[in-house]
Amino acid sequence: MFNWDLKREWKEKNSIGSMLIFLLSTLMVVYFALGTQLRPGIWTALYWIVLLFGTSGIVLRSFASESKAKMLGIYTMIHPNAFILARILFNGVNSLILSLLAAFFFLFFYQLEIASPSTFILASVLGTLTMTSLLTFITALSYRAKNPHILSVILAFPISIPILLSAIQLSMISTGQVGLVSSLNLVSVLVALLVLVVVLSLLLFPYLWRD
């Protein structure tokens, strides 16, 4: 299933291009509005805004490109858990690429002192992975209803706050800001959230599957 997704993505090469254009246009706007100097707080805020909207774009696209007939074919072939797991993995890889690109371009255009690169990388990786798995599950859920695009945002926004909050705090710490809690705590919170989201998806997705 994962391979199949990968192949499809390979066929539509424009997706990586659209990611790039999205990133660059955001940066352009930031550049025109704020100039060349950014405080770490604003840098982190923009970085996470880009990641949030970028990952939701990736997840929505992975579901939108499926036709009804194709879905029916998949339904009969594989186990629901295999499906959701493959989706999460696939979207996760895509989002990691996005976060890598985002970090690269942000650092390329804006000099930022990252006091602890390992913390920054952990924050980006764990934050995007957890966000993506949550978004994947919620989008799969809202694709059972009318106008899934709007619905998935409404449903995902309130429950994604804890993830965003800990990821942002962690990346703030990595830029040398003093946080209220140690980065180790935040990392363990993020790991726990990631595991929780994946386990819940595996437990609950079979119920969405039956139709």
Residue 172 Cα to chain centre, angstroms: 18
Q: Which is nearer to another protein, 27 or 141 (CB)?
A: 141
For the record, the structure tokens of 12 come out as: 């539509």
Q: Which is nearer to another protein, 91 or 133 (CB)?
A: 133
Nearest to 100 by CA among 195, 23, 43: 23
- Distance (Å, rounded) from C-alpha 148 to C-alpha 142? 5
Q: What phi and psi, each to the nearest 5 degrees, are found at residue 78? A: -120, 165
Neighbours of 113 (CB within 10 A): 7
Q: What phi and psi, each to the nearest 5 degrees, are found at residue 189? A: -60, -45
Per-residue string for binding with another protein, 154-193, x by CB under 8 A? xx-xxx-xx--xx--x----------xx---xx--x--xx
* CB 109, min distance to another protein, A: 30
Q: Which is nearer to another protein, 7 or 210 (CB)?
A: 210
The conformation of residue 146, written as its DSSP 8-state character, comes to S
Per-residue string for binding with another protein, 116-145, x by CB under 8 A? ------------------x--xx--xx-xx
Question: Contact residues for another protein (CB under 8 A)?
Answer: 134, 137-138, 141-142, 144-147, 151, 154-155, 157-159, 161-162, 165-166, 169, 180-181, 185-186, 189, 192-193, 196-197, 200, 204, 207-208, 210-211
